[in-house]
Chains A and B, each alone.
Chain A
Amino acid sequence: MANIKEIRDRIGSVRDTMKITNAMYMISSNKLRKAKKQLAETEPYFYALQAMIARVTRHLPEGTEDVFLETRDDIPYASRAKGYLILTSDKGLAGSFNHNVLKAAEEHIQKNNTLKNYKLYVVGEHGRHYLQRQGFDIDESFRYTAQNPNLDRSRDITSIIIDDFRNHVIDEAYVVYTTMKNSISCEVQCKKILPLDIIQEARDRFMPIDTYNEEFLFEPSAEAIIDNIVPNFINGFIYGALVETFCSEQNSRMMAMDNANKNANEMIGQLTKEYNRQRQAAITQEITEVASGAKAMRRAKAAKMKKKAALNENTRS
């Protein structure tokens, strides 16, 4: 059994760890609030953009050709080169946050590819290390951090992906990221961003011949407009995904730290109990020692007296 000093040291170290986890909890909640505010600001723009793209594609004149309208349906699904933008965090200590994203991404890659024609764009150190260890082929020059998502970074990422799409390096692009379902649980999403599904839907929609359909004038040209809004939309999407991921990361970390705090409290409680028990045992033992020592002394004294008395009796008689 551990002695008192050991237990005391242990309690001290748990307390110190708790100070750290507590601080991390606080920092995460602060960052989460900031990121959420940022996201709320971009939301109206993003939804309007989505509506705009749908509207524009519905009214596109016949014969408009643009790279973003290509579907690459001529290539069989499994052999289409797919690009994956995988959003993870830079740091661990966030529960199963990274694990979930990476698992989803791995599954998707294994299921939908012939395992040769994929390209990974990984954001966050954690994911990069993991996928490298698993033997995946990662674009080495793609180095972006998951911290403090901003528009500049998402613009860079967007231009890289769009460029690869334009040059037929990839035929489809997916984003694997985490969204917050509510403040307790997160959910991994895998969304296709290129070619755009909303364009596809808008084009496939059945149009009765004689419905009223406003004629739009495209200035300077329909292609120019598509070229202008689609990258913006994808940028918006990626930015949103970056922020959502960042929020989820902070949230997961908050939960993990909260759990750590709870566990630490429990541990401290148990250790304190143990400590008190040990202390009590030591005290009891000491008292017993003193008491039995005193008793022994008394007994020895009594024996001595008795002996003396007996000796006196003997000499008298």
Chain B
Amino acid sequence: MEKKTFGLQVMSTNGIFYNDRASEIILPCIDGEYAILAEHEELVLAIYDGKMTIRDAIGDKIIAIVGRGSCQVANNRVIVLVDTCEKPEDIDRHRAQRALERAEEEMRQNKSIREYYTAQAAMARALSRLKNSSDYGID
């Protein structure tokens, strides 16, 4: 059976990640994951650090680790705009580990509120990158 599809664009500061038809996209939200299928109602969604899963038109799975951003659904077209978007195999685990340690250190120093939040955000980023890349046996 022909799958219903929608137009999907995923963009990040590193460029366009995906620009094609897709049959499903699962996005990380603040309280869990949100899946969008074809002909979804009009929606704007806030995206948080985590794992994004795309099923393309023939049903192949594409996984990416995303940063904060947002997603807009209108007229059977989905636009995802995120800070960062990487395939798990592209993640440099050493770099992520270093970032995590740095963030932990900064949080312990307990400076200003802003610095605390910055460190917290950096930590969330690093953790999500570490966690999701380890799911794929990349170490």
**Interface check B11, CB cutoff 8 A:** yes
Please report the C-alpha to C-alpha distance between residue A151 and residue B12 in the assembled complex, in whole angstroms.
11
**Interface check A216, CB cutoff 8 A:** yes
Given contacts A219-B29, A236-B13, contact A224 B81 (CB under 8 A): no
Interface readout for A48-87 with B: 1 if CB under 8 Å, 0 if not?
A: 1100100110010000000000000000000000000000
Please report the C-alpha to C-alpha distance between residue A80 and residue B49 in the assembled complex, in whole angstroms.
35
Q: Is the interface of B mostly helix, strand, loop or mixed?
A: strand
**Interface check B70, CB cutoff 8 A:** yes
Q: Enumerate the 6 nearest inter-chain pairs by beta-carbon distance, A residue then B residue, closest first.
A: A41-B15, A45-B11, A163-B114, A228-B46, A217-B43, A224-B46
**Interface check B14, CB cutoff 8 A:** yes
Q: B83–A235 contact, CB under 8 A?
A: yes
Residues in chain A near residue B46, CB distance under 8 A:
219-220, 224-225, 227-229
Q: Max chain B CB contacts within 10 Å: which of A45, A227, A236?
A: A45
Chain A interface (Cβ < 8 Å from any Cβ of B): 41-42, 44-45, 48-49, 52, 55-56, 59, 151, 155-156, 159-160, 163, 214-220, 222, 224-225, 227-229, 232, 235-236, 239
Q: A214–B42 contact, CB under 8 A?
A: yes
Please report the C-alpha to C-alpha distance between residue A289 and residue B34 in the assembled complex, in whole angstroms.
100
Within 8 Å by CB of B44, from A45, A159, A225, A227, lies: A225
CB of B13, distance to nearest CB on chain A (Å): 5
Please report the C-alpha to C-alpha distance between residue A55 and residue B72 in the assembled complex, in whole angstroms.
9
Q: A225–B13 contact, CB under 8 A?
A: no
Please report the C-alpha to C-alpha distance between residue A19 and residue B84 in the assembled complex, in whole angstroms.
41
Q: A239–B13 contact, CB under 8 A?
A: yes
Q: A41–B44 contact, CB under 8 A?
A: no
Closest to A235 in B: B83
Within 8 Å by CB of A48, from B11, B47, B114, lies: B11
Closest to A229 in B: B70
**Interface check B138, CB cutoff 8 A:** no
Closest to B112 in A: A163
Given contacts A44-B16, A225-B46, contact A220 B83 (CB under 8 A): no
**Interface check B9, CB cutoff 8 A:** yes
**Interface check B68, CB cutoff 8 A:** yes
CB of A112, distance to nearest CB on chain B (Å): 26
Residues in chain B near residue A49, CB distance under 8 A:
81
Interface readout for B23-61 with A: 1 if CB under 8 Å, 0 if not?
A: 000000111001000000111111110000000000000
Closest to B72 in A: A52
